[in-house]
Amino acid sequence: MRIDIISVLPQLLESPFSDSILKRAQQKGLVEVVLHNLRDFSLDKQKSVDDYAFGGGAGMVMNIEPIDRCIGALKAKRSYDEVIYLTPDGELLNQKISNQLSLKGNLIMLCGHYKGVDERVRQHLITKEISIGDYVLSGGELAAAVLADSIIRLLPGVLNDETSALSDSFQDGLLAPPVYTRPANYNGWHVPEILRSGNLKKIEEWRHEKSIARTQERRPNSMKNYSE
Ligand code: ADE
């Protein structure tokens, strides 16, 4: 998979991809993440990428031209499955969307700033709009990092068996059960006896019950996605 991220602040995206699982995924050749500075595609001397809104009002709007030139340059080299715009009014991200995107080959992510992008970008250049939650960030960069992380960890070979994505919360419609590690007794706070019993069948049943109880309590709406 290849993910191209277009941003006015590409340096903000460097660290999430330079550590741990996302770094190793790139080193193993399972994903290529390429950051692009939108200003490099501006034709004017000041390298500006935004302008006042037609009709007035506070806040700047990102110009269509540098965005079109950047996306056009990428598309001239390879084909892309989706051109995603990160925006608070996009479709709310969930595990199903990440699963679907993890099956794609090449993705472009466009990070918004200021009052957003000229609407014609959304009408003609973008194929999918995603929000990571009903709150407003200063720009789309952190949202792109969240989206890319949720996709990359699903790619075959990125996680080992111990951290397999299949046992993640939401993957089967249920939240993950509680987990414990040593010591078994910390200041009188005990690990549930069943987890130390060695009875794998009973442990599995216990975990399943806890997953269901936690989902009913915290995400009652996701119970409908759950199939036994
Ligand atoms: N840009 C600003 N806020 C955002 C959000 N919540 N999701 C995606 N992109 C954003």
Domains of the chain with bracketed CATH: 2-152 (3.40.1280.10), 169-225 (1.10.1270.20)
Atom of ligand 1 nearest to the CA of 132: 7
CA of 208 to the centre of ligand 1 (A): 34
**pTM over 0.85, yes/no:** yes
Residues of the chain with pLDDT > 90: what percent? Answer: 89
CA of 59 to the centre of ligand 1 (A): 16
Q: Please give the helix or strand (H or E) that residue 49 lies within, else none.
A: none
71-94 residue pLDDT tens: 999 999 999 999 999 999 999 999
Atom of ligand 1 nearest to the CA of 135: 6
Q: How far apart are CA 98 and CA 104, in angstroms?
A: 10
Instruction: Say whether pLDDT at 33 is over 90.
Output: yes
Q: How far apart are CA 161 and CA 93, in angstroms?
A: 25
Half-sphere exposure of 219 (CA within 13 A, CB side): 16
Cβ < 6 A, ligand 1 pocket = 86-88, 112, 131-133, 135-137, 140, 143
CA of 113 to the centre of ligand 1 (A): 9
Instruction: Say whether pLDDT at 162 is over 90.
Output: no
Beta-carbon contacts of 51 under 8 Å, excluding residues fewer than 6 positions away, are 60, 61, 63
CA of 176 to the centre of ligand 1 (A): 26
